[in-house]
Amino acid sequence: MNRFVPITDQRSGKRVPSTAGVPEKAPRDRLGRHLRDLRISVTDRCNFRCVYCMPKEVFSRDYEFLPHEDLLTFEEIERLAWIFRDLGIEKLRLTGGEPLVRRHLEKLIEKLAQIPGMDLTLTTNGSLLAKKALALKDAGLKRVTVSLDSLDDAVFRAMNDVDFPVARVLEGIEEARRVGFTSVKINMVVKRGVNDQSIVAMARRFKGTQHIVRFIEYMDVGTSNGWRMDDVVPSAEVIRRVGSEMPLQPIEANYPGEVAERWRYTDGSGEIGVISSVTQAFCSSCTRLRLSTEGSLYTCLFATHGHDLRTLLRSGNSDEQIATAIGNVWRARADRYSEIRTAETVRLNKVEMSYIGG
């Protein structure tokens, strides 16, 4: 195995790569897909109770979240990130729950930002972004994505189900821009009859700002959100609605495996994206793994079980042994849930989105 081994520089105390190099060939799964992206959930907790992710009737006051000692430490996450880099990972995205409720998250970002060639990003609900944007930027975070499901305050408060005002999320986006995150991505999960009336307004609000709105089809992640196909607004309909008022034309993906289909305004004032996991499955090009808060590795957003890495980390295994275990998980991967979705698969006991991130 051609190893990329993190070592410690005795003068700086920082972990740096050896000269062994990266592997000549990253692993492929059973459908020939490369490993490229890793989503790391840093907490299973969130200060919102969004109806499509952590509905209040399930995640109530009595719900038992993971105790702190069960969570991966920042040092364990850093170690895994170096190992994943050796296996071909080029992009790390920190998620939750809501990642900004994890204390001292900027310390983890400082560690991960030292990994050469890694695209380090974070997805947040924006509620704490105004307060933390500068610290995140100073720590080395490169990009940020904000989940924002409506500009209508009443609709937004109803969807987050904790009466949180949309104005404070917008303040967070503006503060992120001010401190240097010049192109923020805005994710809007569209649910018919709930917030689909906000589609055009959302596109118009961020047109010409360098920020990119991405409209996401409502998905059957987990088992607690009461998903029905009737709730889904197909991406094709989103493009028609936006394009009828602000003409659009398709553009190529930024890289192989990009999940968002890109469209730009014909007047040159920016772009939007659509993520069509339900109506136009992109399983064939999926390059993602997901790491849960307590160290379980999931090969699909719709997975029913994970693979325990925490025990490997805490049982004295070497980096090479852990890398071998991860490589074996990826090589055995054959997930293509969105391509085979039926009324029966929808009923599977799938992992909740709040546990492994979106």
Number of domains in the chain: 1
Q: Report residue 206 CA to chain centroid gap.
A: 21
In this structure, is residue 86 part of a structural domain? yes
Mean pLDDT in order along the chain per 10 residues (358 residues): 38 40 69 95 89 74 78 97 96 95 97 96 97 98 97 95 96 98 95 96 97 92 71 96 98 86 97 93 91 94 90 96 97 87 66 68
Whether omega before 270 lies within 30 degrees of 0, making that bond cis, reads: no
Is 1 a domain residue? no
Alpha-carbon torsion angle 110, 313, 72, 277, nearest 10: 90
Nearest of 317, 275, 323 to residue 297 by alpha carbon = 323
Token pair 């009443």: residue: 154
In this prediction, residue 311 carries a pLDDT of 97
CA dihedral 243, 248, 254, 257 (to 10 degrees): 40
- CATH number where 204 lies: 3.20.20.70
Q: Which two tokens stand for residue 70?
A: 């069960």
Q: Where are the beta strands (DSSP E) in 228-346?
A: 248-251, 261-265, 271-275, 288-291, 296-298, 307-308
Cα within 13 Å of Cα(124), Cβ side:
25
Residue 91 located in a structural domain: yes
Could you tell me if residue 39 is inside a domain? yes
Structure token pair of residue 201:
């307004």
Domain range for 293 is 6-356
Please tell me the predicted confidence (pLDDT) of residue 318. Answer: 97
Residue pair 115/81 in contact (Cβ under 8 Å)? The answer is yes
Q: Answer whether residue 277 is part of any domain.
A: yes
- What is the pLDDT at residue 5? 41
From 84, 100, 106, select the one nearest 39 (Cα to Cα).
84
Give strand ranges (E) for the chain: 6-8, 15-17, 37-41, 91-95, 119-124, 143-147, 185-190, 212-217, 248-251, 261-265, 271-275, 288-291, 296-298, 307-308
Instruction: Give the three-state DSSP class for 3.
Output: coil
Q: Give the tokens for residue 284.
A: 């064939």
Q: How far apart are the first and last CA of the chain?
A: 32
pLDDT of the residue at 59: 74
Q: At what angle do helices 319-331 and 74-86 cross, to 10 degrees?
A: 60
E strand segments, 50-111 = 91-95
The pairing of strands 307-308 and 296-298 is antiparallel
Q: Within a domain: residue 279?
A: yes
User: In the 8-state DSSP scheme, what is residue 195?
Assistant: T
Would you state the pLDDT for residue 246?
A: 98
Cβ neighbours for 346, distance < 8 A, ≥ 6 positions apart: 220, 227
Residue found by looking up tokens 């493009």 in the block: 239
